[in-house]
Amino acid sequence: MIPSLFNGSVSAGACSATNFPLPTIFGAEFLSLEANLVSNFSRNVQTGLYTNHGGVVVENLDFCNVTLTYTHPGQNDTVHVQVWMPSDTWNGRLQMIGGAGWQAGLHYAGLGGMAAAAAEGYASFGTDAGLGSDVYPTNWALTSEGNVNLYLLQDLASVSLNDAAIIAKDIVNTFYGQAARYTYYSGCSQGGRQGLMLAQRYPDAFDGIAASAPAINWAEFFVAALWPSVLMDQLGEYPPSCEFDAITAAAIEACDGLDGVVDSIISNPDLCDFDPLSIVGKVIKCEGIGSGERPISTAAATVTQATWDGPKRADNSSIWFGLNQDSQLTDTTYQQGIVSTTCASNGTCTLNELDPAADWVTLFVNKSSNATIRYMSREEFEHIVHLSKNMYESIISTNDPDLSEFRARGGKIIAYHGLADNIIAPGGSKLYYDNVLEKDPNAQDFYRLFFAPGLSHCFGGPGAYPDTIFDSMREWVENGIAPATVMATSTTEPIISRPLCPYPQQQKYDGVGNSTVSESFYCE
């Protein structure tokens, strides 16, 4: 139970727009402020939708919703921020809920996270960064053909995040008659990138940041996600999902037991040397295509290995990291898989473009709504990677390892990254943390990274999900107790619990205990 830092309750009459003076933000002009009391709000926020927490059943929640609309004069943007404040259960803390995909925060999962946070006693808040409810950037990326809307991109990348923190602190102070004792940020994926941006660029905004599976190197990894598609175009072959799924299953079978436990999880992908070409020709089930059976093709094996290796230049040097062998390349649970084809019943398959990555290259790098990214040569692909990094790294990437200001103000960062992430390669998180350690060898005193074997992007897969990561961060901030491990529990059968280890330590099985319980594992 989180102790309350606020004694009392707030009257319903306090939730009136007339009671809130407009905040002051340099460079911003407020357009409106609305306040309404929400009563008996209920929602089942499932595990994974309240980032860095477990699931929460919200029942009969009463809160004041203050919505502010503002613009940065001359930039033609309209940004919305919502602050949800529980009427009589406030714990004295603020929690910002981050974004996902192309959305900055006020999306379906984000609003669920805000509701869950409010139900737990936090005043919660989020921003749409001026992007409204758009899931993709199609409607806002270009002001005209050839001209990127850099103002809105900057809002998404950084500006709106600090604005929202200033606004929420001011609104909370007015509503409760006292400032929040602690202000926290929680996000994964896009939200993880936002969290690191806050630590790097706005070190005074938050006391603690949970920034998981972060899209740190946005300019590189988004283009790298197109690598399997580029290869299939070059080969002129588009294998069906069943072939890629069979290769992934074979890799898991070959490497699963290397850690001493057979659980469909590859705990240390670096030890897995499975060669996809070794099962070319093996006949597999492929329902709905031809006879329902087909041999694994050389093309499928080649594309799979290249996806694991990551994109390469013509001289075979690495452009970016690949995904690990147990990542589900064709998974479409939340969006298109990184390897995606559509097949007719006669076995003819065509390529599906990976929408988020295709949008980045088409709209922001090529600056055209009509540009094609199909049939690129290796040289053209290398050029696109270079352009993306050259034009946008300083705007939206969050790879600055200098966190000295955030450390000096007493801030704490905690993050996890699933080793079976099928969207953002965990190698990017490792690279960033290594760079932070190189600059500050004692960075573990304020920043810890935990890798989660078998976990997919943010959550999902057979691996254990760290639903305690936010609370571990809060404990570190408020009581100075650094997490030696973070407890995690799987969300699918069979249920397993595991301790996640702070990098560079790794999770090890003791070889004798029950492999489904955390007590049988240690960090080394």
Q: Which residues are catalytic?
A: 189, 421, 457
Tokens standing for 43?
Answer: 């929602």
Q: Identify the sign of the CA torsion 390, 395, 401, 404.
A: positive
Beta bridge partners of 68: 33, 81
Q: For residue 269, which of 452, 435, 114 has the smallest C-alpha distance?
A: 452
Give the Cα separation of 501 and 417 in Å (integer).
11
Give the Cα separation of 233 and 295 in Å (integer).
21
DSSP assignment letter at 37: E
Q: How many CB atoms lie within 10 A of CB 345?
A: 8
Give DSSP secondary structure letters for 188-236.
ETHHHHHHHHHHHH-TTS-SEEEEES--TTHHHHHHHTTHHHHHHHHHT
Return the residue matching tokens 């069906």. 240
Return the residue matching tokens 């999770």. 507
Task: Find out whether the peptide bond into 504 is cis, omega within 30 degrees of 0.
Answer: yes
Q: Tell me the C-alpha to C-alpha distance, in Å, between residue 128 and each of 33, 356, 427, 480.
A: 15, 18, 29, 33
Tell me if 8 sits within 8 A of 85, measured CB to CB. Answer: no
Tell me if 76 sits within 8 A of 129, measured CB to CB. Answer: no
Tell me if 307 sits within 8 A of 339, measured CB to CB. Answer: yes
Give the Cα separation of 360 and 349 in Å (integer).
25
Tokens standing for 405?
Answer: 């200001």
Give the Cα separation of 182 and 413 in Å (integer).
14
Give the Cα separation of 343 and 446 in Å (integer).
50
Give the Cα separation of 199 and 216 in Å (integer).
12
Task: Find out whether the peptide bond into 23 is cis, omega within 30 degrees of 0.
Answer: no
